[in-house]
Structure 1
Amino acid sequence: MSSARPNFLQTVGYVFGRRLPADMQEWVRNDVLGPGAVRRYLVRWITPIIPFLLLFLLIPGPVWIPLAMMMLLLLPWIYFAVALRPIWQRHRLQQHGLDPALLGAKDRARADVERAAYERRHGR
């Protein structure tokens, strides 16, 4: 297992879609599938839109109007980000030469354990 980590410029490039060197595949796998991956993904998708949403605060009137306008854009943004996450994960794994089957490995392992437990209880 390589402990290679990207430097600052490589990290910025990676966030914007660039490919990292092959010796950082383990880091990419952990970034895409490891602990905190969902949080990192959502932060990367939501952070760029925040400055644009804050422009709505310049609209005159009661503060609830700009806040409501922000929510009308932010909620679908988050919804689609969550819905498209598996596609993004598969793309990032393929982009870095990793097996996209890693994406469902935890679910398959859990299903195998449940199936084995079911077969032990109820026979086949």
Structure 2
Amino acid sequence: MSGEYPTPTLGQRLRYITGATLPSSMSQWVLEDLTGPGATRRYLLRVLVPVIPPLCLFLLIPGPAWMGLAMMALLYLPLIYFAVALTYVFRRHRLAEHGLDPTLADARARARGDAERRDYERRHGRG
């Protein structure tokens, strides 16, 4: 993300990651964070990495190690599935929460689809 607009401090970033809203002066940063390159990767890292240490507590349960790993997997695999499935919903919600237009969450995909359609129509004589 570029430095052309105000960026949050470390404390603001930590609160933002945990669900707090940032001041409206940082709307451009929020927009870039939620829709810019790497937005999905950042979202998945923020959701999937913090739960690993608590899941490791299953390894302390007496018994074979595979039992603790199996219990971890029973919780972690559905978390991965739902985190990926709800990425779009989460981004729309966070945009709305910061007073931004939720339709911006898929603006790049729409623009890419429009470009493909124009290219198709140009190649096949419909435009």
The corresponding residue for 2:50 is: 48
Question: How much has 1:43 moved relative to structure 2?
Answer: 1.5
Q: Whole-Å Cα distance in 1 between the matches of residues 45 and 113 of structure 2? A: 30
Q: Whole-Å Cα distance in 2 between the matches of residues 91 and 68 of structure 1? A: 33
Contact between 1:2 and 1:24, CA under 8 Å: does it hold in 2?
A: no
The corresponding residue for 1:35 is: 37
The corresponding residue for 2:91 is: 89
Q: Whole-Å Cα distance in 1 between the matches of residues 45 and 109 of structure 2? A: 24
Structure 2 unaligned segments of length 5 or more: list them: none
Q: How many residues align?
A: 124
Question: How much has 1:51 moved relative to structure 2?
Answer: 2.1
Higher helix share: 1
Question: How much has 1:60 moved relative to structure 2?
Answer: 2.1
The corresponding residue for 2:19 is: 17
Percent sequence identity is 57
Q: What SS does the aligned partner of 2:86 have?
A: helix
1:76 equivalent to 2:72? Answer: no
The corresponding residue for 1:107 is: 109
The corresponding residue for 1:123 is: 125
Structure 1 unaligned segments of length 5 or more: list them: none
Q: Whole-Å Cα distance in 2 between the matches of residues 123 and 94 of structure 1? A: 40
Paired residue type of 2:105: L
Paired residue type of 2:8: P
Question: How much has 1:2 moved relative to structure 2?
Answer: 4.7
Q: Whole-Å Cα distance in 2 between the matches of residues 75 and 100 of structure 1? A: 28
C-alpha RMSD over aligned residues: 1.5
TM-score (norm 2): 0.89
1:32-61 Cα deviation digits (max 9, x unpaired) = 111221121112112332122101101222
TM-score (norm 1): 0.91
Q: Whole-Å Cα distance in 1 between the matches of residues 53 and 123 of structure 2? A: 56
Contact between 1:14 and 1:20, CA under 8 Å: does it hold in 2?
A: yes
Paired residue type of 1:76: P
Paired residue type of 1:72: L
